[in-house]
């Protein structure tokens, strides 16, 4: 049987990596936290599901932890996203802070327990 995983934001990590308070970033972070809490509540009875809790905004000043190949894939994916957004007249996220996350991917795995009932 294949394993099932849920990827969600770490619940208790809204920090301001840019050194100043940013209401927009705070709202985005809170939305991710609420979504993560909703996912955890939805799968609470499904103990066999693996959970990958990832950090996002707080990693900008942490040590880079991706290989060059992983970073290239991340940068290419993010470039495609930025291109699509600007093509639809949205602001580009291709700024210094967003690019700082391209070489950092921090998460912790909470392994599931047991197996789904037949």
The 10s digit of each residue's pLDDT in 108-117 is 999 999 888 7
Strand partners, 8: 53
Average pLDDT over the chain reads 86
Average pLDDT over residues 65-70: 95
Q: What is the pLDDT of residues 25-41, one digit of tens each?
A: 778 778 888 899 999 99
pLDDT more than 90, % of the chain: 48
Reply yes or no on whether the pLDDT at 46 is more than 80. Answer: yes
CB environment 85-102: b (16+ within 10 A), e (fewer): eeeeeeeeeeeeeeebbb
The token duo for 92 is 């580009």
Indicate yes or no: pTM above 0.95. Answer: no
Closest by alpha carbon to 57, among 33, 35, 76, 78?
Answer: 33
Reply yes or no on whether the pLDDT at 24 is more than 60. Answer: yes
pLDDT of residue 61: 84
Closest by alpha carbon to 61, among 109, 96, 113?
Answer: 96
């Amino acid at each position: 049987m294949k394993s099932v995983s849920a990827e969600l934001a770490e619940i208790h990590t809204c920090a301001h990596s840019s050194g100043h308070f940013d209401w927009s970033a705070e709202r985005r972070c809170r939305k991710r936290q609420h979504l993560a809490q909703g996912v955890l509540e939805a799968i609470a009875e499904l103990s066999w599901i693996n959970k990958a809790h990832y950090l996002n905004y707080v990693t900008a000043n942490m040590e880079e932890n991706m290989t060059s190949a992983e970073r290239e894939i991340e940068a290419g994916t993010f470039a495609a996203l930025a291109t699509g957004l600007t093509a639809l007249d949205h602001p580009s996220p291709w700024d210094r802070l967003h690019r700082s996350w391209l070489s950092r991917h921090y998460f912790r795995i909470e392994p599931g327990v047991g197996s789904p009932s037949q």
